[in-house]
Structure 1
């Protein structure tokens, strides 16, 4: 597929046009990501410094609801945000998927999976953190991973 990029003036509205033969699930994912990408970051409080920072979506490994707060984990630091998890789940790009009642992960940071003796699925992330995938969410995780593995990853 040929890709054309045209740099425009800052005052003009950004837009995207696809000339395609068929709308596939991959194209739908790209469109959804583009529609959500007006802001490609979250603003959150640093847990180590007393200041707010912009965290690009591409740096977020996972988000966890804990003690009435949402913690955002990156390779560099941990951040805190006060927003309902369901709202973040809706606003984040399609490479983020809920894996339990309290955790949303960025699938680009999954290194591997292991099956625990009790049958639970464990995701091992690039930062060596281990998070449990609830049985309820295994099916949607499989679908998402299958969709991304059949198509090139776009970021």
Structure 2
């Protein structure tokens, strides 16, 4: 089996392509293993009190620090996460972006970015929750939103 890696800034997301001369048991196992890895990478444990919840990353609007704790915000709840923001930033998929010293957001959940007197405000889908973008991170956010596929 050969493994090739092609890295280019032209790509918007990671893609795995498998070329095989036949559909056999080894191919099925390989595909299954890759899907299991992807599923485990797309989930994170969140805590409310003593209860542990398995959260899908796609359901998380943003991560935010508050009193030295990191919380994952979904549409209806905020879950305590046992990671630091820098750890999340290193390991989250490409659709997550740091927008301030204390926040990382899910680009796929943004409805609007509004400029106001107090700053640049982000509104999320199906919720009242909002976030402010630091001026330092605003340009990168705009670039990523412009490149986003709809």
TM class, shorter-length: 0.7 to 0.9
- Tell whether 2:17 aligns with 1:26: no
- What CA RMSD, in Å, does the superposition of the two structures yield over aligned residues? 2.8
* Structure having the larger proportion of residues in strand: 2
Tell me by how many angstroms 1:113 deviates: 1.6
Residue ranges of structure 1 left out of the alignment (5+ in a row) = 1-15
Counterpart-to-counterpart distance in 2, 1:103 and 1:40:
19
The structure whose Rg is larger is 2
Q: TM-score, normalised by structure 1?
A: 0.71
* 1:43-62 deviations in Å (ceiling 9; x for gaps): 12125xx2111101111011
Q: TM-score, normalised by structure 2?
A: 0.73
Q: Which position in structure 2 is the counterpart of 1:62?
A: 62
Higher relative contact order (CA 8 A, sep 6+): 1
Query: Where in structure 1 do 4 or more consecutive aligned residues deviate above 6 Å?
Result: none
**Number of residue equivalences:** 127
Tell me by how many angstroms 1:24 deviates: 5.5
Residue ranges of structure 2 left out of the alignment (5+ in a row) = 17-33
Tell me by how many angstroms 1:65 deviates: 0.7
Q: Which position in structure 1 is the counterpart of 2:82?
A: 82
